[in-house]
Amino acid sequence: MDKNLQLLIQQVDERKEELIELLKELISFETPAPPARNTKEAQQYVADFLKRYGFSIDLWDVYPNDPNVVGVLKGSDSENYKSLIINGHMDVAEVNDDEEWETDPFTPTVWEDKVIGRGAADMKGGIAGALFAIQLLRESGLELPGDLTFESVIGEEVGEAGTLQCCRRGYDADFAVVVDTSDLHIQGQGGVITGWITVKSKQTFHDATRKDMIHAGGNLFGASAIEKMMKVIEGLQELERHWAVTKSYPGYPSGTTTINPAVIEGGRNAAFIADECRLWITVHFYPNETYEQVKEEVEQHILNVAKGDLWLKENPPTFEWGGSSMIEDRGEIFPSLEIDPDHLGTQMLAQSHENVSEKGAVVDVSPTVTDGGWLSDAGIPTAIYGPGDLNNAHAVNEQVSIPQLIEYTKVILQFIYTWSHTNSKEKMGEEMDDI
């Protein structure tokens, strides 16, 4: 390891109080989503921080009062050295009034080697560690030949995909690290897509006509959309069981591919036969599947179910998938991320972890989802790696371990430096001995 880099990593210990204060500062910005539309001050803080250390800043509103921030530090030899994106989300989980926090969620406290506050684990700890690593690198004067891009995005907690907006804006790199909650595991992930299934009658009927629909000789071809949705739900359960038997992925327990009937809406009032029913579903799928593939499987199965029912055959279900926001249009997509353990970026991140922790890196899959799928979907090799564990994410008295935060900061500092010093022509296995 470069001696200057080694001395710099030691500074993380020596200046850990600065790191803790940086995290506390980020937590003090109240950025829960929902309600969202509250990240402007926090994002401006990040923009000013990056600008102070030489980054060019792109700040734009994704939604009013919810801007993305992208800082770009051009390398000294960008054409010949590898580029990196560090990505994290500034929004945090909502806080309900009845949650029994020991302290105010946005007044961070330190207790027994832990920082406590909303977002400590998910994921302002990851943002703070990466920013502090950047600060140390820039203050040291150590050169970065490759480009470094830092993305602080909004909306991850409610499916608003600030990261997708960064991809659409053209930000790209040879590798990306999403510094979200992973307990210092290097992870891929499955995916999630929500959808609405609608069963709708072509006619409306008074509730007094029900006897003519259900008894012999009534001669009225009609049905309750709510009751017909029961057949759709049964079909979804059948498909879910089929997936549990026929699909698998290393690192996931059987049956991880689920179809959750989350919300149901239907009917007008008690004087009508229900002429419409809508079902909101959440579908989880494996890292080697796409949301387009999963949508097709669900639709084909349910349409086949409908063909077996005389009324549904004439009034087939319709489908609306995804959405850009759980707040704005009640829908979301999180693409899957299949991590490549043989990719040079993954290998170098694992080696950086091993150098710092003196323990082997764990490369596995996250049981939840992050914005990493959008980077992968854009063709950027990506890994999830950050401090904090999922038991604390979204939890009352959310907290992150200070020793783990320090370890993570050292790892990300070393990885930024070594990846930036990797020639862009290097491939897997050619550069590992120099780390």
Q: What CATH number has the domain bearing residue 291?
A: 3.30.70.360
14, part of any domain: yes
332, part of any domain: no
Quote the CA–CA distance of 219 and 377 in Å, as a whole number.
53
In a shared domain, residues 129 and 10? yes
Pick from 427, 402, 386, 367: nearest CA to 87: 386
| pLDDT of 216 | 84
Cα dihedral sign, 333-334-338-340 = positive
Place of tokens 């959310």: 398
Instruction: Please give the structure tokens belonging to residue 21.
Output: 């204060």
In a shared domain, residues 99 and 56? yes
| pLDDT of 3 | 85
Of 321, 349, 372, at which residue does a domain stop?
Answer: 321
> What Å distances lie between residue 178 and 149, 247, 404, CA to CA?
12, 27, 17
CATH, residue 401: 3.40.630.10
Quote the CA–CA distance of 388 and 123 in Å, as a whole number.
8
**222: Cβ contacts below 8 Å, ≥ 6 apart:** 201, 203, 205, 209, 212, 213, 273, 311
360, part of any domain: yes
Of 296, 321, 346, at which residue does a domain stop?
Answer: 321
| pLDDT of 387 | 98
240, part of any domain: yes
| Element holding 51 (H helix, E strand) | helix 40-52
In a shared domain, residues 344 and 407? yes
pLDDT per residue of the chain (435 residues) written in tens, 0 to 9: 688 899 999 999 999 999 999 999 999 999 999 999 999 999 999 999 999 999 999 999 999 999 999 999 999 999 999 999 999 999 999 999 999 999 999 999 999 999 999 999 999 999 999 999 999 999 999 999 999 999 999 999 999 989 999 999 999 999 999 999 999 999 999 999 999 999 999 999 999 999 999 888 888 999 999 999 999 999 999 999 999 999 999 999 999 999 999 999 999 999 999 999 999 999 999 999 999 999 999 999 999 999 999 999 999 999 999 999 999 999 999 999 999 999 999 999 999 999 999 999 999 999 999 999 999 999 999 999 999 999 999 999 999 999 999 999 999 999 999 999 999 987 655 555 555
226, part of any domain: yes
| pLDDT of 1 | 65
Instruction: Point out the residues that are catalytic.
Output: 91, 156
Place of tokens 């700040």: 59
Helix (H, G, I), strand (E, B) or coil at 319: strand
| pLDDT of 263 | 98
| pLDDT of 432 | 52
Output phi, psi for 377, to 5 deg.
-60, -30
42, part of any domain: yes
In a shared domain, residues 375 and 229? no
Quote the CA–CA distance of 173 and 181 in Å, as a whole number.
22
**Domain of residue 207, residue span:** 191-321
Its pTM stands at 0.94
Q: Which amino acid is at 319?
A: F
In a shared domain, residues 184 and 252? no
In a shared domain, residues 173 and 52? yes
| Element holding 13 (H helix, E strand) | helix 3-14
432 DSSP 8-state letter: G
Q: State how many domains the chain has.
A: 2
103, part of any domain: yes
In a shared domain, residues 18 and 160? yes
Q: Which amino acid is at 180?
A: D
In a shared domain, residues 166 and 28? yes
327, part of any domain: no
Q: What would the DSSP string read from start to end of 56-106? A: EEEEEEEETTEEEEEEEE--TTTTTB--EEEEEE--B----TT---SS-TT
| pLDDT of 2 | 81
